[in-house]
Structure 1
Amino acid sequence: MLMNNYFYIMYFIGVLVFCLKCKHLLLMLLSLEFIVLSLYYGIYLVLCKYSYEYNFMMIFLTMSVCEGVLGLSILVSMIRSFGNDYFQSFNILW
């Protein structure tokens, strides 16, 4: 029961940081990776509890790595185009 509470605390702290740091893209990407890590931990707990196989964990880990690489490539392209990763300095949306 205590391990489930760690999972919920990790997930909600990640969501809270994602909501509070919405002006800095790198911190948003880091908080998204923390959320994915907490979800991975939650899937591990569920699969251990019900004694399932861990094949889905490898698929989830592969998809989360692809998500992280896509976010970093967007970050690199934005830094090369604009020079920083703050959302307030972009004039594209206006």
Structure 2
Amino acid sequence: MYFVVSLGVIGGIYSFTSNRRHILMSLMSLEFISMMLFLMLMINFSFGGFDAYLGVIYLAFSACEGAFGLGVIVFVVRGFGNDLFSASGIVQC
């Protein structure tokens, strides 16, 4: 099970680093990485016999990160008209 979750994290990191066109796709891959890490945390807690309070706190912070990302998307789309990195002038590569 750890192998599948590790592949998910590696795939999310690859997706985050290779997709540099849309801000929304970058935020989606960050959310995928955080969900895979949450799954790994829950697997560790279930095998160790611990309570899952830390997992709930992690999930709350992950939801706050997602809401902040959506706020950034709304701000960028209203300011520049689309969510492309190249249109906003943020990245000068």
TM-score (norm 2): 0.93
Task: Report the RMSD for the aligned CA atoms in angstroms.
Answer: 1.2
Instruction: Name the CA distance, whole Å, in 2 between partners of 1:31 and 1:71.
Output: 12
Instruction: Name the CA distance, whole Å, in 2 between partners of 1:86 and 1:40.
Output: 29
Instruction: Name the CA distance, whole Å, in 2 between partners of 1:43 and 1:83.
Output: 38
Task: Using the aligned pairs only, state the percent identity.
Answer: 30
Cα deviation for residue 22 of structure 1 reads 1.8
Question: Is the partner of 2:41 in helix, strand or coil?
Answer: helix
Which residue of structure 1 aligns with residue 12 of structure 2? Answer: 14
Unaligned runs of 5+ in 2: none
Residues 22-78 of structure 1 show CA distances to partners (whole Å, capped at 9, x for unaligned) of 221000011011001100000011101111101011100000000000000000010
Instruction: Name the CA distance, whole Å, in 2 between partners of 1:18 and 1:91.
Output: 19
**1:57 correspondence with 2:55:** yes
Instruction: Name the CA distance, whole Å, in 1 between partners of 2:88 and 2:66.
Output: 22
Residue among 67, 76, 92 paired with 1:69:
67
Residues 1-42 of structure 1 show CA distances to partners (whole Å, capped at 9, x for unaligned) of xx0111101100000000010221000011011001100000
Alignment of 1:1-94 (within 5 A): 3-91=1-89
Code of the residue aligned with 2:41 in structure 1: it is I
Instruction: Name the CA distance, whole Å, in 2 between partners of 1:27 and 1:35.
Output: 12
Instruction: Name the CA distance, whole Å, in 2 between partners of 1:59 and 1:32.
Output: 18
